[in-house]
Structure 1
Amino acid sequence: MSEQIVIDPITRIEGHLRIECEVENGQVLDARSIGTMWRGIETILKGRDPREAWLIVQRICGVCTTVHAMASVRAVENALGLEVPVNAQYIRNMIVGAHCLADNIIHFYILSAVDWVDIASAATKADPKTAAALAQKLSPWKNNSYQEFKQTQDKLKKFISSGQLGPFSSGYWGHPAMQLDPDVNLIAAVHYFQALEYQRKINKVVTVLGSKTPHIQNLAVGGVANPINLDSPATLTMERLYYIKTLMDEVRDFVQQVYMVDVAAIGAMYPEWCAYGKGNGNYLSVPEMPMDEQGKNFAMPGGYIKGSDMESFRRISSSQDPFFEDNVKESVKHSYYAGDWTRHPYVEETEPNFTGKEADGKYSWVKSPSFQNEPAEVGPVASVLAMLAARHAPAVKYTNTMLETMASIGQTTFDTDILPSTMGRHISRSIRAAVVQDAMAEQWEALISNIDSGDNTTFNEPHFPEGEQRGVGIHEAPRGTLSHWIVIENGKIRNYQAVVPSTWLACPRGTNDEPGYYERCLVGNPVADPEKPLEILRTIHSFDPCMACAVHMLNPEGGKLSTIKVM
């Protein structure tokens, strides 16, 4: 007999998500993904100056800030056919790269690792000496000392003895699905606290280049507001540029010697999770880090893979590529919006229509995107597979490194077939983080070289003609493919739509009643204890959901909307 499980809200994500599952004989038979808020940003933007849209849309989320700002200015530039100075491209690229690394580090250690790591075991059963020795065997990381491990264990013991567990208060400690050795649990716990420091370091790069974080202030349609004058301390000087390079180098060591190694170790020790959480085999990503004024050459390729067939890979060249622009649609058949349509973002509407009834088939505030009329997975798996299909050398190198490290730890072989899975998303995210690091270093070198040549240009002024212009801005954000779609009429915004990664993934059923991606990937997921559905959280957290991006609540009258008690 089947049993219903409801998790509402899913915690350790940005925003609110409800997951309903039907479970029988320890497996998920069916699932529903429900976004419980409405995003009203599209309505707010109507009639505004396109040049100020980026300031507003980065308020969609308190985490995914730079990504929306970047996609927004790119959408307006695309609509106007406006070129962007290469200095501005390099500065933007370093900002999005730094944001990506901070996001990836936080996601694994703070938001997801405690799904796999038993903190109580690390505090009470691990031996700091043997744990430190094991960590030193796995990696040359400078902070894998016995002293670090002893201090961390003592800190955890104080948490437990005080009864105030802080960030670890709602974990399923002792759950039968937790199977790491206590010493490995302590290694992960030590690196949990170190990750906080290194995400802070890489966020300083965003702050120096973007003026602040979150919600950067340096963007402009046509470039950036960073003047380059090597003789003025008030501008972007060589001193500042070398400072951010130091930060990038420090974080590079953490990513390669800690983050990648920890993901490889946990992946090797949970090999069964390299099979759970698979989707329909359609993978969508877009190119990132434009290297020229027109946005046609990119440091990182993107494209579309259909039905798990790597030979089907078709590269997406830019925002102007009709293969991407023409094939994105969204459906509201099962979403709380007026109508029952499937439309292109340029002609979509965002008219809320909450009925609260099941009879009409609508059950989520998230729309349902499709590519070539089919669901597609976006995110690190899609990005890495596209780069592998494009034979992108850094992606090939770091993928091989990860698989070899997993093989040495797990004493078995692993290949790229494991990437489209719950654990594979973590593996892919760490691979992409390493690729992003290499690309950031290239952007820094390119900026320095271009400044040395005498080019200090960072901005081209936009001009808005009469009539209508349409544009799409693309960005391969940490959570996956992001696109902002704008229709400008006589210099004002007539329509604006943001199709975000968590919309692609957390969506309800689509036009043909096919499951959304979370819904699809949960089927077959094990559930050892319906009262403690840790395994469901593992798969959902592997996508790094951001429901504040997928949906957003607007109350024009102000006041309290709801009260939610979370463990």
Structure 2
Amino acid sequence: MSYGDFPTNGYADVSNYKFPQGIIVNRDLSKVMDVDHRNADIEEYVNNSWYDYTDGDDKGKHPWDGQTNIHYTGPQPPYEHLDVDQKYSFVKTPRWKGMPMEVGPLARLLVGYARGHEEIQDAVNGALSHLNVPVDALFSTLGRTAARGIETQLAANWTMEFYNTLMNNIKNGDERMANTELWEPKSWPAEAKGVGWTEAPRGSLAHWIKIKDGKTENYQQVVPTTWNASPRDPKGQRSAYESALLDTPVADPELPLEIIRTIHSFDPCLACAVHLYDEHGNHISKVTNVGSCEI
């Protein structure tokens, strides 16, 4: 899924994004569906998360109606295992039409590729030709890593285009920095709601807000790592991290670098520590990366 970004005619005109908006399901590049942040297609679940919904945890909520009522029911530290038959994460579970989504550089490129965006297709095909692999090879850890470099090349190529557009606007007297029509709170209606979205480096990011009597009534964010790292939903569906780890060959179980490489390919906004256990629950290895949440 990609919310799209780098608008050339304002964010409202999604048809002119440099990175197109859209959703691909089941790796079918022949069909790209639209995404609308305002309708009920996007929902968050807390059936496996340490939160409570007032009307039951098995139902999803659109972010405009979202709730963040923390209720930790996990083990008290120190502990070795989480009971995954109970709630086991502070990450909520977002879904689009009930389906998990992967977001990030690879999703952006594939949506643009499937939309027929010429510059994106040229960049992707150039990389695939150099590596002598088909487009399906991108659905992998190496594909996610390669996507970062490919989109960096695209962004660099677009830099002068953006700069020249800015300078031409200024020369033509357009020095606007924002739409200030509703800047003054006194001009606001009694109730209002809105959503803002972008493609952050890690993927699709959106903030939803409800305003009542000039004050924030509800504010919810669904960030890229929430999509990728979320626990299973009420249907038992895995999210992107867990799905990507399935059938991953591990050359040395004592040093499972393949596991951490796959997780790192998503650029997680979490302190990264992988604990590996065998089928009997015995501890095998721990791989830790101490660092900050980089932009």
Shorter-chain TM range is: 0.7 to 0.9
SS in structure 2 of the partner of residue 302 of structure 1: coil
Which amino acid in 1 is paired with 2:22? G
Give per-residue Cα distances to partners, 1:177-197, cap 9 Å, x unaligned: xxxxxxxxxxxxxxxxxxxxx
**In the TM superposition, what are the counterparts of 1:433-444 in structure 2 within 5 Å?**
433-444=152-163
SS in structure 1 of the partner of residue 52 of structure 2: coil
SS in structure 2 of the partner of residue 385 of structure 1: helix
Give 1:505's aligned residue: 228
- Going from structure 1 to structure 2, the CA distance change for 1:344 and 1:293 (only over 3 Å counts) comes to same
Q: Report the Cα distance in structure 2 between the residues aligned to 1:522 and 1:492, rounded to whole angstroms.
A: 43
Q: Which has the larger radius of gyration?
A: 1
Q: Report the Cα distance in structure 2 between the residues aligned to 1:294 and 1:336, rounded to whole angstroms.
A: 34
Does 2:172 match 1:447?
A: no
Does 2:96 match 1:371?
A: yes
Give per-residue Cα distances to partners, 1:294-337, cap 9 Å, x unaligned: 63132221201111111221245xxxx46x64311111000011
| Matched positions, count | 257
Give 1:535's aligned residue: 258
Q: Report the Cα distance in structure 2 between the residues aligned to 1:382 and 1:513, rounded to whole angstroms.
A: 23
Give 1:285's aligned residue: 2
**1:347 alignment partner, one of 34, 57, 65:** 65
Give 1:476's aligned residue: 199
Give 1:418's aligned residue: 137
Give per-residue Cα distances to partners, 1:121-144, cap 9 Å, x unaligned: xxxxxxxxxxxxxxxxxxxxxxxx
Which amino acid in 2 is paired with 1:347? D
Q: CA deviation at 1:431?
A: 1.4
Q: Report the Cα distance in structure 1 between the residues aligned to 2:253 and 2:213, rounded to whole angstroms.
A: 57
Give 1:234's aligned residue: none
Which amino acid in 1 is paired with 2:6? M
Q: Report the Cα distance in structure 2 between the residues aligned to 1:472 and 1:432, rounded to whole angstroms.
A: 26
Give per-residue Cα distances to partners, 1:55-80, cap 9 Å, x unaligned: xxxxxxxxxxxxxxxxxxxxxxxxxx
Which amino acid in 2 is paired with 1:337? Y
Q: Report the Cα distance in structure 1 between the residues aligned to 2:234 and 2:149, rounded to whole angstroms.
A: 34
Give 2:45's aligned residue: 331
Whether the 8 Å contact between 2:44 and 2:63 is mirrored in structure 1 is yes
Q: Report the Cα distance in structure 1 between the residues aligned to 2:97 and 2:74, rounded to whole angstroms.
A: 31
Q: CA deviation at 1:377?
A: 0.7
- Going from structure 1 to structure 2, the CA distance change for 1:435 and 1:294 (only over 3 Å counts) comes to closer
**In the TM superposition, what are the counterparts of 1:102-251 in structure 2 within 5 Å?**
none
- Going from structure 1 to structure 2, the CA distance change for 1:488 and 1:420 (only over 3 Å counts) comes to same
Structure 1: gaps spanning 5 or more residues: 1-283, 407-412, 549-564
Does 2:20 match 1:301?
A: yes
Whether the 8 Å contact between 1:335 and 1:366 is mirrored in structure 2 is yes
Whether the 8 Å contact between 1:342 and 1:511 is mirrored in structure 2 is no
Q: CA deviation at 1:529?
A: 2.0
- The TM-score, its normalising length taken from structure 1, stands at 0.43
- The TM-score, its normalising length taken from structure 2, stands at 0.81
Does 2:25 match 1:311?
A: no
Whether the 8 Å contact between 1:475 and 1:481 is mirrored in structure 2 is yes
Q: Report the Cα distance in structure 2 between the residues aligned to 1:359 and 1:506, rounded to whole angstroms.
A: 15
Which amino acid in 2 is paired with 1:398? A
Q: CA deviation at 1:424?
A: 0.4
Whether the 8 Å contact between 2:31 and 2:114 is mirrored in structure 1 is no
Which is richer in helix? 1
Give per-residue Cα distances to partners, 1:92-126, cap 9 Å, x unaligned: xxxxxxxxxxxxxxxxxxxxxxxxxxxxxxxxxxx
Give 2:281's aligned residue: none
**2:115 alignment partner, one of 366, 390, 393:** 390
Give 1:402's aligned residue: 127
Which is richer in strand? 2
**RMSD (Å), alpha carbons:** 2.0
Give 1:36's aligned residue: none
Q: Report the Cα distance in structure 2 between the residues aligned to 1:505 and 1:459, rounded to whole angstroms.
A: 32
Give 1:101's aligned residue: none
Q: Report the Cα distance in structure 2 between the residues aligned to 1:522 and 1:488, rounded to whole angstroms.
A: 41
- Going from structure 1 to structure 2, the CA distance change for 1:481 and 1:325 (only over 3 Å counts) comes to farther
Whether the 8 Å contact between 1:301 and 1:315 is mirrored in structure 2 is no
Give per-residue Cα distances to partners, 1:40-65, cap 9 Å, x unaligned: xxxxxxxxxxxxxxxxxxxxxxxxxx
Q: Report the Cα distance in structure 1 between the residues aligned to 2:170 and 2:17, rounded to whole angstroms.
A: 20
Structure 2: gaps spanning 5 or more residues: 76-82, 272-287, 291-295
Q: Report the Cα distance in structure 1 between the residues aligned to 2:160 and 2:19, rounded to whole angstroms.
A: 13
